[in-house]
């Protein structure tokens, strides 16, 4: 395990019995699969802010000009200010940890990332964000955040893990002291990845990096980090992946024979129409790269975004 890769996790998702009923929401994927590669920083905002286990249920209510966190059975028991103040301080401390990602508990009025129930005078709308996660997103807008339940989706799972390893690579490359050279080097390695995730962001970030000398590093570093991680939240589509595969294919047009070219075209097209997983054309391209090495291609993180043991590209 690379203990440098720290991710925050809602404590109940790790199996800690901190929920209102004394239970947990343990995620096998998080504890078994991600646990082999990441170091967890568990947080339960409700318990850490002083609530007992077990405890009365709480919910978000639309209270005039604000969203309030109150007890379900007695709305006069308001925990909003306590939770907001706790969240502000806790997230502030987490910034010192240089987290690479965060897995939050879905539907929770403190930890939910989206579609959390907000109760109004007449009905409940699934339109809220947990108060703690809201603070997390505001203070650390670059941080990859995902909900435990959504990680059961193979595409969302792969995207989250890709973002975590991307941010980790970024921090490792900077090594605590960002420079123009380090950022240009990093950006070069992620060109094909960005093309696959979001071509428009790939172009915008390219323009930004080209003007790096116009900025102080204190200005440029946070600007690039937010832009990079915003681009990576877009899931790599089959269409964009196909364009990247065809781009890589172009590097071999002068060295492969007629049959090899035809085979590579066929495998890429079979991926394009959904007959083969992404792993198939990637495996073939890596085979040709071993025969005909290319320094630029070998540097591209698109080909190896995370450890193969995670087996995340089998379902793509």
In a domain, 1, yes or no: no
In a domain, 120, yes or no: yes
In a domain, 162, yes or no: no
Q: Give yes or no: residues 253 and 292 share one domain.
A: yes
Contact (CB, 8 A) for 143 and 229: yes
Q: Give yes or no: residues 185 and 310 share one domain.
A: yes
Q: Could you give the dihedral angle defined by the CA atoms of residues 93, 96, 97 and 103, in that order, rounded to the nearest 10 degrees?
A: 50
Domains in the chain, number: 2
Average pLDDT over residues 204-209: 98
Contact (CB, 8 A) for 271 and 278: yes
Domain containing 147: what range? 6-152
Question: Kind of pairing, strands 58-63 and 124-128?
Answer: unpaired
Contact (CB, 8 A) for 109 and 131: yes
- pLDDT bin (cut points 50, 70, 90) of residue 3 is low
Q: Whole-angstrom Cα distance, residue 157 to residue 311?
A: 11
Q: Give yes or no: residues 79 and 209 share one domain.
A: no
Q: Give yes or no: residues 140 and 213 share one domain.
A: no
**pLDDT tens, residue by residue, 150-162:** 999 999 999 999 9
In a domain, 161, yes or no: no
Q: Give yes or no: residues 140 and 190 share one domain.
A: no
Is the pLDDT assigned to residue 90 strictly greater than 80?
yes
Q: Whole-angstrom Cα distance, residue 254 to residue 257?
A: 8
Q: Give yes or no: residues 17 and 147 share one domain.
A: yes
**pLDDT tens, residue by residue, 263-313:** 999 999 999 999 999 999 999 999 999 999 999 999 999 999 999 999 998
Average pLDDT over residues 204-222: 98
Is the pLDDT assigned to residue 1 strictly greater than 50?
no
In a domain, 238, yes or no: yes
Contact (CB, 8 A) for 59 and 117: yes
Contact (CB, 8 A) for 192 and 305: no
Coil, strand or helix: which one is 97?
A: coil
Q: Give yes or no: residues 201 and 266 share one domain.
A: yes
In a domain, 308, yes or no: yes
In a domain, 258, yes or no: yes
Q: Give yes or no: residues 145 and 179 share one domain.
A: no
Q: Whole-angstrom Cα distance, residue 229 to residue 237?
A: 17
**How many CB atoms are closer than 10 A to CB 301?**
18
- Which residue, 43, 33, 34, is CA-closest to 8? 43
Q: Give yes or no: residues 90 and 178 share one domain.
A: no
Q: Whole-angstrom Cα distance, residue 297 to residue 301?
A: 9
Q: Give yes or no: residues 12 and 136 share one domain.
A: yes
**pLDDT tens, residue by residue, 111-135:** 999 999 999 877 788 889 999 999 9
Q: Give yes or no: residues 194 and 301 share one domain.
A: yes
**pLDDT tens, residue by residue, 54-86:** 999 999 999 778 899 999 999 999 999 999 999
**pLDDT tens, residue by residue, 5-45:** 999 999 999 999 999 999 999 999 999 999 999 999 999 99
Q: What beta strand segments (E) does 101-162 contain?
A: 101-104, 116-119, 124-128, 145-147
Give Rg (Cα) of the chain.
22
pLDDT given at position 192? 98
Query: According to DSSP H, which parts of the chain are helical?
Result: 28, 45-48, 80-95, 131-139, 154-174, 180-189, 191-197, 199-210, 217-232, 238-249, 258-272, 279-291, 295-299
**How many CB atoms are closer than 10 A to CB 66?**
9
Q: Give yes or no: residues 109 and 209 share one domain.
A: no
**pLDDT tens, residue by residue, 185-200:** 999 999 999 999 999 9
Burial label for 30, CB within 10 Å (0-12, 13-18, 19+), is: buried
Contact (CB, 8 A) for 111 and 132: yes
In a domain, 160, yes or no: no
pLDDT given at position 314? 85
Contact (CB, 8 A) for 255 and 292: yes
What lies within 8 Å, CB to CB, of 73 at 6+ separation is 56, 57
Backbone angles phi, psi at 237, to 5 degrees: -85, 165
- Which residue, 191, 139, 173, is CA-closest to 296? 191
């Amino acid at each position: 395990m690379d203990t440098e890769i720290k991710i925050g996790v809602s404590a109940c998702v790790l199996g800690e019995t901190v929920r209102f009923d004394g239970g947990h929401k343990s995620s096998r994927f998080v504890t078994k699969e991600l646990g082999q590669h990441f170091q967890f920083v568990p947080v339960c905002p409700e318990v850490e802010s002083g609530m007992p286990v077990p405890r009365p249920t709480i919910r978000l209510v639309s209270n005039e000009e604000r969203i309030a966190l109150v007890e379900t059975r007695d709305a006069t028991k308001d925990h909003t200010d306590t939770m907001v103040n706790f969240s502000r301080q806790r997230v502030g401390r987490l910034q010192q940890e240089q987290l690479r990602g965060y897995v939050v508990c879905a539907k929770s009025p403190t930890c939910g990332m989206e579609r959390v129930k907000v109760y109004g005078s007449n009905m409940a709308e699934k339109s809220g964000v947990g108060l703690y996660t809201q603070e997390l997103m505001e203070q650390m807008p670059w941080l990859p955040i995902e909900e435990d339940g959504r990680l059961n989706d193979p595409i969302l799972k792969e995207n989250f893990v890709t973002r975590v390893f991307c941010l980790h690579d970024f921090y490792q490359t900077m090594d605590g002291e960002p420079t123009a050279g380090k950022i240009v080097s990093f950006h070069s390695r992620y060109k094909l990845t960005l093309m696959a995730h979001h071509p428009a962001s790939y172009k915008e970030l390219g323009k930004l990096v080209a003007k790096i000398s116009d900025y102080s590093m204190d200005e440029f570093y946070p600007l690039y980090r937010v832009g990079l991680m915003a681009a990576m939240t877009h899931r790599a589509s089959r269409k964009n992946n196909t364009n990247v595969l065809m781009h890589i294919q172009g590097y071999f047009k002068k060295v492969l024979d007629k049959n090899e070219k035809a085979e590579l075209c066929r495998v890429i097209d079979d991926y394009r129409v959904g007959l083969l997983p992404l792993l198939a054309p990637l495996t073939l391209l890596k085979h040709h790269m071993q025969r005909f090495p290319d320094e630029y291609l070998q540097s591209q993180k698109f080909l190896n975004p995370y450890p193969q043991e995670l087996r995340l590209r089998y379902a793509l």
